[in-house]
Amino acid sequence: MTQAVRQATVDDIWAVHATARQSWHAAYDDLLGADRVDDIVDEWYAIGDLESSISDASGRADAVFLVAEGSDAATGDGFASDCRGFVQVVPWPEDVAVGYLTRLYVRPDVWGEGVGTALLEALEASLGDTFDRLRLAVLADNERGISFSEAAGFEHVATRETDLADGLEESVYEKSV
């Protein structure tokens, strides 16, 4: 299936929120517990914050928020949407030559179908020469996320602690663009 990727709009907020919840539960329930995952999604993907992130990205050359859509509209959370995944990049606060992938998530029912790759390729194309490098962080125990990052050409550059849970680390990856 050819993956359609487009700029996110405020009409996508609930679908992005539902996609985030599904993908976080699939990736992190065993690691963090379902209740902690719900708390994180409710905080990091609050509807007002998503609206701000999407609106902000649409008005800037150095920020992007894209969604992948398909013909399968069922999200499993009661929201009818075509959102199969989403990606967001903003400038790294300490180095504006680095684009920080703050969000790259795909619904688990379409994992392995190329949605993440299509999102990343569309993101890179839309950025042009805005950044020299892209950076992302993946929980060190997220084998799927690490595998995807490495397959997409990212290289491990650091490991750091995260405040999501005691003793939990995340791996930082970068790639030149």
Nearest to 104 by CA among 126, 73, 135, 129: 135
Query: Could you give the percent of the chain with pLDDT greater than 70?
Result: 93
Structure tokens at 102: 């703050």
Domain segments of the chain as ranges: 4-129
What pLDDT sits at residue 70? 79
What pLDDT sits at residue 71? 61
Q: Tens digits of per-residue pLDDT, 6-48?
A: 999 999 999 999 999 999 999 999 989 999 999 999 999 999 9
Q: Tens digits of per-residue pLDDT, 102-123?
A: 999 999 999 999 999 999 999 9
Q: What secondary structure letter does DSSP report for 162?
A: -
Mean pLDDT of the chain: 91
Query: Could you give the percent of the chain with pLDDT greater than 90?
Result: 82
What's the CATH superfamily of 4-129? Gcn5-related N-acetyltransferase (GNAT) (3.40.630.30)
Residue with tokens 């708390």: 39
CA atoms within 13 A on the CB side of 90: 13
What pLDDT sits at residue 136? 97
Q: Tens digits of per-residue pLDDT, 128-140?
A: 899 999 999 999 9
CA atoms within 13 A on the CB side of 8: 32
The larger pLDDT score, comparing residue 155 to residue 73, is at 155
What pLDDT sits at residue 165? 80
